Amino acid sequence: MQGSKRKLREGVWELRLTLGKDPIADKYRRVSKTFHGSARAADSALRDLIEEQAPDTDGAGAVFGQLLDQWLAECERLDLSPGCPSC
């Protein structure tokens, strides 16, 4: 996860995070927050924002796991074998 800060004017910063690409929508997910304070305090706020937005597991694994769970549930609903598409 990448983060950056940009000075908008004296004492005002824009904190930005790129959370990664959404595989379904095929678009990057971003978070932006305005922060008022010093540059050092903005750095600290950016670290806090990164920790707040960080997933408990790696992002790719979480997304894959969610898709796999949905696929298995759909196979079960349709009474299909998940290992064999023609079964």
35-87 pLDDT, tens digit each: 999 999 999 999 999 888 876 555 555 567 777 888 888 888 888 776 666 55
Contact between residue 35 and residue 42 where contact means Cβ atoms under 8 Å apart: yes
Residue extents of the structural domains in the chain: 2-77
Tell me if residue 61 falls in helix, strand or coil.
Answer: helix
pLDDT value for 34: 96
Average pLDDT on 5-13 reads 95
**Residues near 24 by Cβ (< 8 Å), separated by ≥ 6?**
none
Q: How far is 79 from 87, CA to CA, in rounded Å?
A: 10
Q: Which residue has the tokens 């990057």?
A: 28
pLDDT value for 62: 57
Q: Which residue has the tokens 């922060």?
A: 35
pLDDT value for 44: 94
